[in-house]
Structure 1
Amino acid sequence: MKIRKLILAIALIVMGVCSAQAQCKFKNTAFKSGEFLTYNLYFNWKFVWVKVGNASMSTVESRYHGKSAYRSSLITRTSESADKFFSMRDTLLCYNTTELEPLYFRKGARESDRYTVDEAFYSYPNGKVHVKQHRQKKDGTHVWKTHTPEACTFDMISIFLRARSFNPEGWKKGNRISFPITDGVKIINAVLEYKGKTTIKADNGHKYRCLQLSYIERENHKEKEIVRFFVTDDENHVPVRLDMFLKFGSAKAFLVGAKGVKGKMTSQVK
């Protein structure tokens, strides 16, 4: 048992999941301001994958409360033809310090006639983590909660920005990293699991050698995979494909274009 705990502690340190006593900082090696990624969005309709819209992910250097920060967003939009059956208008936004500390997160989700908003406001008084969370429910009512977790806490976008700078050298399939993550007005346990390497063909016609990272949420002793990222096996770790496991079914996003990427995408294969 002591050996298992020691291995877990080492893994958490190596992978950058910090304790609340330390500053929740991490060196960005994967992206630069001005990166803009575009995707085609597909939905599984009666066992057939149908193109239903598009998605985009961007990161720029901005300001948050007067200080330099990264502003990153993920936007998904179904087309007018797909809206007749099911409309999806999701916008995920986050601000992180230039050292990848989470500052703010917002998710606005419109799925058919259902619209909800989740927010998380992060601060670090005296080296402690403080998270204020807000949820606007589909009926328009508002709920606020405050948490002071013992470990650095993330949201879906900020943990992915950090994961892009992980060094996968020496990783083995099945490696898992646990961390707290915001969910509405709760903080739950989540996991990033390394699924190994594979080759993915993007919608730009190119193939890429990719790392697979599975984002899993754990609640009430149950696990649920939310998103699986396929990122380029190079220093950029650009998402080439995203598999999204939604309440109403499954969706996929395939890379169409990548502008403002930090380095050469050496993972491209013939």
Structure 2
Amino acid sequence: MIKRIIFTAIIGMMSIISVNAQSCGIENKAFKSGEFLVYDLYFNWKFVWVKVGSASMSTMESRYAGKKVFRSSLTTRGNQKLDGIFVMRDTLLSYCDAATLAPVYFRKGALEGKRYYVDELWYSYPGNNCRLKMHRIDADGEQHWINKEYTDCVYDMMSIFLRARNFDASKMKKGDIIPMPISDARRLTNSWLKYRGKENFKVDGTGEKFRCLVFSFYEKEDGKDHELIRFYVTDDQNHLPVRLDMFLSFGSAKAFLRGYKGVRNPMSAKIK
């Protein structure tokens, strides 16, 4: 549960209302090849915030199936303190069309204790629909293949991040609800965002202060709405997530942006 929340928190920052699959592309104005982001992860242990690991994400231009794409990878690594609660040694990989950011391939390899499993998604767009070929390798080695087709756009946890960073939030109002159509190799998640307005935030450790847009991520489970994450993204064209508050069944966790390089646009949300 906590691993899924951390992944979703780091990469499911903002989304847009789902439209016909013909419009699954979007113009990229938010990032460029060579961007690199680093986060510190903290857990509230007996009323004390303890650093338990780190996460990093890189985006580079590459080629996939003969096409120019953005190759994005996310790695999370827990330290020895976190290993006492759960092991986190995971890597996510995504290929999105360089011109439209429409997803073409996604892979997640997750190590949990002695369990290791793999999720894969292949995308195609026949007849203006979004078709997914889904592949999962369980920890016992058993393989599962599923084919799904949707009339709306569907994304994975990585591709939604790249698309969402190009979302124009200037016309949003406090309280607005934004669906998040995210799939893994098992199911489509019933989840959404709620816009909470704007706040200023000072990053611990670096001392940098930013004007931020604040969102909450919700999932419906057992007929109830659960707020899983509250996050802060820079109120500029980069839309970099700088703070994440994660509400867990057994405590609280946070992630803070520790470093960034290769960003495309000026960090105009930074307060001097």
Q: Which residue of 1 aligns with 2:31?
A: 31
Cα distance per residue 1:136-179 (max 9 Å; x no partner): 22322121111001100011221121111111112111111224
1:128 aligns with 2:132: no
Any conservation in 1 of the 2:121–2:184 contact (CA below 8 Å)?
no
* Residue identity matched to 1:71: R
* Residue identity matched to 1:167: D
Q: Which residue of 1 aligns with 2:54?
A: 54
Q: Which residue of 2 aligns with 1:7?
A: none
What is the rounded CA distance, in whole Å, between the counterparts of 1:119 and 1:247 in structure 2? Answer: 28
What is the rounded CA distance, in whole Å, between the counterparts of 2:66 and 2:41 in structure 1? Answer: 35
Most deviating of 214-223 and 228-237 = 214-223
Structure 1 177/166 Cα, relative in aligned 2: closer, same or farther at 3 Å? same
* TM-score in terms of structure 2 length: 0.86
Cα distance per residue 1:13-59 (max 9 Å; x no partner): x9463213x24111111111110011111122223220011111111
Structure 1 47/113 Cα, relative in aligned 2: closer, same or farther at 3 Å? farther
Any conservation in 2 of the 1:18–1:24 contact (CA below 8 Å)?
yes
What is the rounded CA distance, in whole Å, between the counterparts of 2:116 and 2:247 in structure 1? Answer: 19
What is the rounded CA distance, in whole Å, between the counterparts of 2:249 and 2:257 in structure 1? Answer: 23
Q: Which residue of 2 aligns with 1:5?
A: none
Offset at residue 126 of structure 1 (A):
2.9
Offset at residue 111 of structure 1 (A):
2.4
* Residue identity matched to 2:72: S
Gapped regions of structure 1 (runs ≥ 5): 1-13
Offset at residue 85 of structure 1 (A):
4.3
Cα distance per residue 1:90-147 (max 9 Å; x no partner): 2222111121101112222222233222221111123221011122223221211110
SS in 2 for 1:156: coil
Q: Which residue of 1 aligns with 2:158?
A: 157
Structure 1 89/179 Cα, relative in aligned 2: closer, same or farther at 3 Å? same
Q: Which residue of 1 aligns with 2:260?
A: 258
* Residue identity matched to 2:187: K
Structure 1 163/174 Cα, relative in aligned 2: closer, same or farther at 3 Å? same
Any conservation in 2 of the 1:188–1:219 contact (CA below 8 Å)?
no
What is the rounded CA distance, in whole Å, between the counterparts of 1:142 and 1:225 in structure 2? Answer: 32
Any conservation in 2 of the 1:16–1:26 contact (CA below 8 Å)?
no
Structure 1 89/177 Cα, relative in aligned 2: closer, same or farther at 3 Å? same
Q: Which residue of 2 aligns with 1:101?
A: 102
What is the rounded CA distance, in whole Å, between the counterparts of 2:247 and 2:71 in structure 1? Answer: 25
Offset at residue 89 of structure 1 (A):
1.1
Identical amino acids, percent of aligned pairs: 54
CA RMSD of superposed structures (Å): 2.2
How many residue pairs are counted as aligned between the two chains?
A: 256
Q: Which residue of 2 aligns with 1:236?
A: 238
Structure 1 224/65 Cα, relative in aligned 2: closer, same or farther at 3 Å? farther
Q: Which residue of 2 aligns with 1:147?
A: 148
* TM-score in terms of structure 1 length: 0.86
Alignment of 1:216-227 (within 5 A): 216-218=218-220, 221-227=223-229
Offset at residue 244 of structure 1 (A):
3.8
What is the rounded CA distance, in whole Å, between the counterparts of 1:95 and 1:169 in structure 2? Answer: 28
Alignment of 1:80-95 (within 5 A): 80-95=80-95
What is the rounded CA distance, in whole Å, between the counterparts of 2:245 and 2:110 in structure 1? Answer: 18
* Residue identity matched to 2:226: K
Gapped regions of structure 2 (runs ≥ 5): 1-14
What is the rounded CA distance, in whole Å, between the counterparts of 1:137 and 1:65 in structure 2? Answer: 27
* Residue identity matched to 1:83: D
What is the rounded CA distance, in whole Å, between the counterparts of 2:103 and 2:248 in structure 1? Answer: 25
